[in-house]
Structure 1
Amino acid sequence: MTISKELEELKAYSSSDRCVLSVYLNTNPGDPEQLNGAWKIHLKSGLKRIGEYLKASGDEKEIKDLDEIKNKIIKEMEENKLELHKGVVIFATADGDLWYVNYVQVPVKTNFYWENHPVVEQLEYMYKAYPEAGIIMPSFGEVRVLDTALGFVRDDITYRFDLVSEQWKESEKVDISNRREALKDKTAKLDTRYKVNKSSFYRGMRETIEQLKKKRGWREFHVAGEAEMANAFAESLRDLPASCIYKNLNNSNAEEVVHQVLEK
């Protein structure tokens, strides 16, 4: 399900009682304020503040509901503490009717809400800034594609040109350290007629990109590569990219690619 669809469902969710906890938690290890797992303290403090507010109101049902949700959230975070990214967004009810967890790779401002509906405004803002997006990195004989949402890399796919069938085919994953040598060897074998007209050469990838856009729900896509390759690939497509960045990032890890393309 795309994030836009998830947002629609979250915005439509409401309860007759106040029983929905919304949590936005900054877990960014690169943030100076998050040193030594400070998110644990912020999580505990935020949940404690809401608990104190409910105790002051004297609503026993809400207090009980919060305790149940709190235990679920603490367990969730503890089980995933080694796989945290920049932030996490959680919407939950005690009865389990609503349980939404999204570990995101974009900045999150820590906030806690107790309402009769999920408080989605910050998630909507993040989505507008980092929607489902493809990052396409063409080089000669190889096209690497990152499928991203909220800055998180959902998939990293490489397509290579097959000399026998003269078609682009999805390739087995290759370690970044080995990609450069593999591509060098493949490029040397490519027929010169493909080197003359690169736009025509890349046109064989057009249908694949269009299928990925539809299947992955991309709201936009970006092209990154050496100027000659990036321009030729962009020209081979029916739709214009949201940006065209003249950097060869094929041998960079996925997180660095996202930083170079989406966060600049």
Structure 2
Amino acid sequence: MTLQKDLKKLENFYTEKPHRVLTMYLNTDLADQDQQGGEWKIHFKNGMNNFEHYLQESGDKEELKNFRELKEQLETYVTDYERNLSKSLIVFASTDGQLWHAQPIQMPVKTEFFWEEAPVLDQLKELNNEFPKTGVVLVQQNDVKVIEAELGAVDDVKYYQLDLNTEDWRLHTGPHQAQASMGSGGKNPGKEKFEDRYRANQQRWYKSLAPTLDKLAKDGQWQRIYLVGNQDETDEIQAHMNKPIDEHVPKNLLEHEETQVLNEVVL
């Protein structure tokens, strides 16, 4: 998702009759007490019917024809969207085919429909101000997970693990797998040896990772950064990063599912 670029495009989009832009903010959050019976489907249907009745009464047959074609396209999309509901769905679509922006998000919206010459962006801008592009960095000794998120949804996840042989941070693709446990209870010489080495080299290792995190923040245009983990570890990373940190969260969430992390840290 590149919302900043999308917003600029949407702000500059305009149509002339008989073409128009449909703006839809649709709350589909089944956890909402007002949505327990799937009321969002009724709201969607009513919104489409209201526009159709309005256009029928206006007598503009070409605009009505354009709306009906767009309505059919949107109904097909919503049927597919229903298989994997988010909390909300935002759509900006023009009848000339030049604009189609359908965006499921994990943030609640107020259900609204507009039929105008340009997209109605008020709610989207409010959401962007409240939940902008964000980087969440989870730290646990020699494991680091980076979650990029926007509007409460996960955009990308990267895993870094310190190679203790080369002392380089390696980027892992695919599902993250934590290092095997060295056991619990009693003394574990191997684990104790690692802990000693970790404490001795912590500053140097995190210092070497900081430029990578700064680059991710710059390239991803992060507007907020959260560091999650042991306070000593997150303090050490912050000390070597150039980008400002918005908040430290002293929790061990590295192995948690990404959406759960966002719910605990950001939302």
Provide TM-score, normalisation by structure 2: 0.90
RMSD: 2.1
How many equivalent pairs are there? 260
- Answer with 1 or 2: which has the greater Rg: 2
Q: Equivalents in 2 of 1:95, 1:184: separation in Å?
A: 62
* Contact in 2 for aligned 1:163/1:190 (Cα 8 Å): no
For 1:162 and 1:87, the matched residues in 2 are separated by 41
Range with bigger deviation, 213-222 or 72-81: 213-222
| Letter paired with 2:9 | E
Are 2:232 and 1:232 aligned?
A: no
Correspondence for 1:242? 246
Residue 180 of structure 2 aligns to a residue whose secondary structure is helix
Secondary structure of the corresponding residue to residue 101 of structure 2: strand
Residues 152, 85 of structure 1: alpha-carbon distance in 2 compared, 3 angstrom cutoff: same
2:67 is equivalent to residue 63 of structure 1: no
Map residues 147-226 of structure 1 onto 2, 5 A cutoff: 147-174=148-175, 179=178, 182=180, 190=194, 192-196=196-200, 198-226=202-230
CA distance in 2, matches of 1:77, 1:216: 30
1:93–1:188 Cα change, 3 Å: farther
User: What is the CA–CA distance in structure 1 between the aligned matches of 2:8 and 2:180, rounded to whole Å?
Assistant: 44
User: Which sections of structure 1, spanning at least 5 residues, go unmatched?
Assistant: none
- Partners of 2:27 and 2:261 lie apart in 1 by 22
- Quote the residue 2:135 is aligned against: 134
Q: Any conservation in 2 of the 1:140–1:187 contact (CA below 8 Å)?
A: no
What stretches of structure 2 of length at least 5 have no aligned partner?
A: 184-189
Q: Match of 1:254, as an amino acid?
A: E
* Whole-Å separation in 2 of the counterparts to 1:192 and 1:173: 30
What is the deviation of 1:208? 1.3
Distance 1:65 1:142, change over 3 A: same
- 1:22 touches 1:114 (CA, 8 Å); kept in 2? yes
Identity %: 30
Residue in structure 1 matched with residue 15 of structure 2 by the alignment? 15
- Give the Cα separation in 1 of the matches to 2:123 and 2:133: 16
> CA–CA distance in 2 between the matches of 1:183 and 1:241?
31
TM-score, with normalisation over the residues of structure 1?
0.91
Q: Classify 1:38/1:187 alpha carbon distance in 2 versus 1 (closer, same or farther; 3 Å).
A: farther
